[in-house]
Amino acid sequence: MKELIKKIKTTQSLSPEAEAYLFSISKKKTYAKGEILIREGQNVNKIFFVTDGCLRSYCIDKNGKEHTLQFAINGWWISDYIANYNNDPATLTIECLKESTVIEFNAEKLNQILIPFPEYEPFKRNTLERHIVSLHKRILNQLIMTAAERYGLFLEQYPDIEQYTRNYHIASYLGITTESLSRIRKEMAME
């Protein structure tokens, strides 16, 4: 929780009362590698702030293939935003890739913080806007770059992540098969 408070305070000040409110609506939880935080089909209204570890969200297509939407490490938020926003059952699954500590919020209660504590708003907005920017970049990269270039960028953006992830986690994030990723790795090693 300290991590989150600290992060908020890089954007703005936060009264002790608002801090207390955040505490009161959140739960610190630790998950083991392989645990599922949100499962496809469940009704969920949770949102997680990652303070340590590594998670990913993915969906499963009609052929049973997984497609990774997001990795979340230190300081990132993760949830099924599609389900949360529409009040639908989850279409995503959120999985713990290594032992992780997260702060769990009820999404609605977290929004309601803005009524007594409007001071929280700039942080909220900043988080949403940064999220949009990263998604825009991802879409453009997917349109512009080759698979090998995308993998290179991925390694820059998540330098340590390969320790925790299976090959197919990364491949399904990049939109390629594990075999292709394996060949790209080989190609890169030879240069």
Q: How many residues bind its own copies (CB under 8 A)?
A: 32
| Among candidate residues 139, 166, 163, the one with its CA nearest the CA of residue 150 | 139
169 DSSP assignment: H
Q: What does 45 bind: DNA, its own copies, none (CB cut-off 5 to 8 Å by kind)?
A: none
| Among candidate residues 22, 166, 172, the one with its CA nearest the CA of residue 104 | 22
Please give the span between the terminal C-alpha atoms of the chain, in angstroms, as a whole number: 44
CA 136 to the chain's CA centroid? 15
| 3-class DSSP assignment, residue 46 | strand
Q: Is 23 in the site for its own copies (CB under 8 A)?
A: no
Q: Is 41 in the site for its own copies (CB under 8 A)?
A: no
Q: Contacts with its own copies in 106-125 (CB under 8 A)?
A: 111, 114, 118, 121, 124-125
Residues interacting with DNA, by CB under 7 A? 146-148, 166-168, 175-186
Select 7 or 183, whichever has its Cβ closest to DNA.
183
Select 30 or 134, whichever has its Cβ closest to its own copies.
134
CA 5 to the chain's CA centroid? 18
Q: Contacts with its own copies in 128-147 (CB under 8 A)?
A: 128-133, 135-140, 142-144
Q: Is 191 in the site for its own copies (CB under 8 A)?
A: no
Q: How far is CA 63 from CA 59, 60, 66, 67, in A?
A: 11, 8, 9, 11
- Which residue ranges make up the site for its own copies (CB under 8 A)? 59, 61, 65, 67, 69, 81-82, 85-86, 111, 114, 118, 121, 124-125, 128-133, 135-140, 142-144, 172, 175
